[in-house]
Chain A
Amino acid sequence: MMKATIVTAPTSTNGDAVFQRICRASAFLIGILMLGIMLSLIMGAWPALQHFGFEFFTSAQWNPVTEEFGALNALYGTIISSVIAVALALPISIGIAVFLSELCPQNWSRPIYIGIELLAAVPSIIYGMWGLFVFAPWFSQGFQLWAGQHLAGLPLIGGMFQGPPMGVGLLTAGIILAFMILPILTSLIKEALSTLPNVLREASYGIGATQFEVIVHVLLPAIKGPIFGALILALGRALGETMAITFVIGGAQSISSSLFMPATSIAATIAEQFNEATGALQISSLIGLGLVLFMITFIVMGVARILLRRSAQQ
């Protein structure tokens, strides 16, 4: 009762102070939360880190029977599948964004954009199920069979397309991830394009540039920084994705040069093994994997910040 009257009193400045403190506390809460998560991950992973030393990060052994654990398999699968996803999704999302903001008639742009936003609202487990039951069979009978006959023999890249057409594996995981990060990439790039002043377009057309030249030589270079930022955000999402990947990556603790072979990711390994893990060392190693993922995401975001700042300074 007391407080309420003070807050509503127009002459008092106490309200501002309270408000400021609440806001500050909220901001600090994020920091404390981060620190707490980091600390508890390190504490949980400590027995494994102590037992295996640095080898935990470089060993490809993951054997619950002999209690030998290394993060390399999962690390490899996480990074390669995310890189595939970003590499596939970036050109497509630039295409969509350019079409929506520069090329397509106003009354079309909105429904298409809503469709893309809806893609972002699909829960990731739905992508996983769709990937496993619909996409993987089609992919194995279509692209993988074809690639096995035509691409596998090629020098250099041939090795990436060898192996049985099982439908699931690193490449499938990368493609499903690409679908999942498409909406965020598209909407960020479209936003960036829409912030560009119209003067830029008018001036470019004014000196006789074609539509293609305006888009490729003027507009896209002007949003290089935001595109890169979007890329990193999307990569962050791809790295940590769990459920969809668990369904389609194939769940094999191994590293293969072929993108068709089953692999595993950090998040998938944790999701699959944590429930039934009984040995203290295995649990600790799984938490250690969590720590590795946390650190990668941290480094990726950090590098992105540094690069973005540099491009802003130029």
Chain B
Amino acid sequence: MARTMPAVDVVFVGVGFTAAIIARELKDASVRMVGLERGRARDTVPDFQSPAMHDELGYAVRHGLMQDVARETVTVRNRPDEVALPMRQLGSFLPGTDLGGAGVHWNGQTFRFQESDFVLRSHHEQRYGRGAVPEELSIRDWGITYADLEPHYDRFEYLLGVCGYAGNVQGNIRPGGNVFEAPRSRDYPNPPTRPAYLGAIFAKAAMDLGYSPFQVPSANLTRGYTNPEGVRLEPCMVCGYCERFGCEHFAKSSPQTTLWPVLRQQQNFELRTGAHVLKVNLTADRRRATGVTYIDVATGEEVEQPAELVVLSAFAFHNARLMLLSGIGTPYDPRTGQGNVGRNYCYQTMSSVSLFFDEDVNLNQFMGAGALGTVIDDYAGDNFDHTGLGFVGGAYIAAYTTGARPIEFHPVPPGTPRWGATWKQAVARHYNHTGGLQCHGQSNATRTNYVDLDPTYRDAYGQPLLRITFDFPQNDLRMSHYVTERAVEIARRMGARQIVANPRTAPWSVVPYQTTHNTGGAIMGTDPRETAVNRFGQSWDTPNVFVTGSTLFPQNATYNPTDTVGALAYWTAAAIRDRYLRSAGPLVPT
């Protein structure tokens, strides 16, 4: 029978960025907190030291830092009338694992969302008319505004030490930064990266076409930095082993490098690793959580952790799954349109353009860093007039130099045989003279893209896997096609000998890696019947449960989610600290 731990005030399920932020924000509150992490503890020293960390096979190909899908995976299908099957090996996305989660192995590309992203439906209807949003899309407003989040974006960016040059400081537009961005209260805490060769070529071509390139805001630090928590980060050495790897130099912002040194000493916070949470326990009427039940991984025992407040702070869709497994809210059913947990699952709409240069152009893409890139925002979101185009949304176009590790990167022009002598010679010829432009695009919600519990397949603990039903809406394919063509135009001015467009096509496949930007499922909003949480991330149905992460996004914007995930964590932390702990209960009347 389950053993019961002493009760705490706050229990976190999953200890990555969002749990670390909220726990730190509650450092002066009279609460006892425990963070339950199902994985292991790990830290820069000794776990991320090179040369062992610079093992492409072990970490990038065999996914050494990622979730082990042998124990738990997801099932996938494109449409509700198909049978979902397990994602038997990692591919399209790479959830993290262990302490720090995906915040350890991410690239560090740190973009805010636009003002319009938070009021996406009403913005489009105002600008383009009521019929502007295609019928297939179920995009919606968030219930919060960019202005609500701005101070919290600022907090998160200063926590990380993001490196960039602001294009809009309190309305003052500054060329050289992102002139399209929403206004920020102040500049970034650290100077931007210096362009790599590919980025510099791209910038010139983009400027010739009248666009406004800027350096990608980077959480690979450009200089030593002590963040407001007193934690010190170091400059990135540009080693080319960033995404999928931990950083040996304390130079990539992660929970370990930004918060853990102070959090581990915080008196009112206890980390418990090897604690795999099965579910949130609820009262019979499901209006209140009493705590969680977890498996002690070391012993296999079932343990009950009573708590006054439960924070679901696992990766993205894991939080939606926990809600479904626990009976929080009502599962969404696309046939009826009813239910508030599971809807509006979205992803990221990616495409690219490959550029094959002459042999005298040494791109040296292996001298890379995760967020080392030059980007234009001219075709992101609604930054351009969509009148008559027949789609909503956009993508940023970036020339990244994140590394060029050979198992994953050995480009050859189309028509090259896939193996043999000719292939081999082509690999040698093109490896150091090939780069790409990435179109990183918005992912809009539809009524049939959602998550629920799979009826057939289970995890190692016997619990149903999460089932993901997703395909790219036609709208998003049209958007991607359009922006890819704009990228080709820029590519043509970059001096390459050959350009190859790689547009996004349907159906979404789980096989090739795209991004780990899985969003939605426990979305935020103003309607308790249709959304899982209110504007503070508080469950409508079970008010002493708060939810964090990209699962809150009603749809995914053009940009990488992490900056917005961090900002929302600070926003939720403030709501818990300043309002909920003073007077527990729904923060938004239902």
Are A and B interaction partners?
Answer: no
- Chain A residues close to B by CB (< 8 Å): none
Q: Which residues of B contact A (CB under 8 A)?
A: none
